[in-house]
Amino acid sequence: MDGLSGPEFRHVGLNLQDHPSLTTQQVESNIFGFWVFLMSDAVIFALLFAVYGTMLVGTAGGPGPAQEFKIGPAFLETLILLTSSFTFGMASMSMKYGRSALGLFCWLLVTLFLGLAFLGMELNDFAAMFAHGAVPQRSGFLSSFFVLVGMHGLHVTAGALWIIVMMVQICVFGLDARVKINIIRLGLFWHFLDVVWVVIFSVVYLQGLMR
Amino acid sequence: MTYGIGYASALALTGIAFALVHWHVFSLDWTLGIVFGLALLQILVHFRCFLHITLGRSARADLQLLLFSTLIVSLMVAGTLVVVFNLRSRMM
């Protein structure tokens, strides 16, 4: 049903039939190494979440979550990020089944635009908070908020830069095995950031808005 | 087409969570519990549909790494919460 080189290997997007130089095992260990990195990243995020949880009441008389968070923009940002995960999935599918690199390139471009739109909205939110005097040095709550959400924003920025690099690599090298593996890694990274955002909108925004 | 299924269910779970908070359907404690439950469900959907972690043999190493990381993360998060909340209650 799928044109993979080995029955054990099922990552979407990989079709190594034209590249016999790379064995399935090599590819698997490459991807597994990237999973190890993602999990160490998950540890960082988990601890930032823990710190945020303990700091939720530490507003020091400053602006609290209920005044500063807006449900509309948070919902829109969530929709944009979810859609970008879907469009990246489409990019993976067109890498696996597409005849040329054009479909992959276009889906990557759409994903890039959605990522940039998300970052723009987030920066707009931060600017509005700064204008109310909700700056990181105001209270423990705001410090932990900006570290946690800012960390995710930095990751999305890195992901957007990585998409641009991959688009250049597709143009320069074409779709060779190395480029394909890099795009699989980028896909894991992008979907992982979406998972982190699921926790952010639940723990940070929705929990804050409930109070 | 796991991506289509994943996208649809992620949208549904997100929509329910935001709707519960926006329209104050339940009391505060209940809403918090349901929102966290929905988030957990959505994380599972993302891992299954977008990151292709399955219970099959092809993803066994990834799954084991993931479960081990989950153990480490929950130990560290639980430890942090216990210690810092305890500190707070003693300082206040």
DSSP characters over A127-160: HHHHHTT--GGG-HHHHHHHHHHHHHHHHHHHHH
Write out chain B residues lying below 8 Å of A36, CB-based.
65
Tens of pLDDT, residue by residue over A83-111, are: 999 999 999 988 888 777 888 999 999 99
pLDDT at residue A46 above 50? yes
Query: Do A203 and A49 form a contact (C-beta atoms < 8 A)?
Result: yes
Say whether A206 and B21 touch across the interface (CB within 8 A): yes
Which candidate in B3, B9, B66 is best for mutational testing of the A interface (most A CBs within 10 A)?
B3
Does position A176 have pLDDT exceeding 50, yes or no? yes
B60 within 8 A of A12, measured Cβ to Cβ: no
pLDDT confidence band for A142 (50 / 70 / 90): very high
pTM recorded for the entire structure: 0.88
pLDDT recorded at residue B55? 81
Indicate whether A20 pLDDT > 90. no
Q: With contact defined as beta carbons under 8 Å apart, do A190 and A88 qualify?
A: yes
- ipTM > 0.85? yes
Which chain B residues touch A53 with a CB distance below 8 Å? 81
| Nearest residue in B to A184, CA atom | B51
CB pairs under 8 A between A and B: 121
> Is residue A118 a contact partner of residue A155, using CB atoms and an 8 Å limit?
no
pLDDT tens column, A71-80? 889 999 999 9
